[in-house]
């Protein structure tokens, strides 16, 4: 079985203090989900939103959410395979380039 690439957006309902003029973490997640679905049509990936203050029971997601808090990272933080590919105001071009490294083909 092929592993599905998971893109995780870590954020919070409260805006990052340094990101007051940017979209919320949830809005960024929704935008990213729509943009990547249009760019990588018929290719299997999963995009997940994790609230850093209320993470799921998954140990890896819980640990990464705590890292965002402990290291004062600018959220939303976008990660692919536990590697940060976007922070604060994530760039679609960089996220797409990372997905292409995993064999995805943009249309």
User: Is 15 domain-assigned?
Assistant: yes
CB 43 within 8 A of CB 105: yes
Mean pLDDT of 36-64: 94
User: Is 77 domain-assigned?
Assistant: yes
Domain with 39 in it: what CATH number? 3.40.30.30
Q: Encode pLDDT of 51-90 as tens digits.
A: 999 999 999 999 999 999 999 898 899 999 989 999 988 9
Place 1 in a pLDDT band, splitting at 50, 70 and 90. Answer: very low
User: Is 85 domain-assigned?
Assistant: yes
Q: Based on the structure, what is the number of domains in the chain?
A: 1
Question: Does residue 29 have a pLDDT over 60?
Answer: yes
Mean pLDDT of 93-103: 94
Residue span of the structural domain in which 56 resides: 5-101
User: Is 107 domain-assigned?
Assistant: no
Mean pLDDT of 20-31: 88
Query: What confidence score (pLDDT) does residue 107 get?
Result: 86
Residue 47 vs residues 18, 20, 21, 70, 106: alpha-carbon distances, Å: 24, 24, 24, 23, 16
Query: What confidence score (pLDDT) does residue 2 get?
Result: 52
Q: Tell me how far the alpha carbon of residue 35 is from its chain's centroid.
A: 13
User: Is 106 domain-assigned?
Assistant: no
């Amino acid at each position: 079985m092929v592993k599905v690439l998971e893109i995780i957006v870590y954020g919070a309902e409260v805006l990052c203090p340094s990101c007051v003029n940017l979209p919320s973490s949830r809005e960024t997640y929704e935008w990213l989900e729509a943009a990547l679905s249009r760019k990588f049509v018929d290719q299997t990936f999963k995009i997940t939103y994790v609230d850093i203050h209320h993470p799921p029971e998954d140990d890896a997601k819980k640990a990464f959410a705590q890292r965002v808090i402990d290291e004062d990272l600018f959220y939303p933080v976008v990660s692919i395979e536990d590697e940060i590919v976007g922070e604060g105001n994530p760039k679609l071009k960089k996220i797409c380039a990372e997905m292409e490294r995993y064999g995805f083909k943009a249309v």
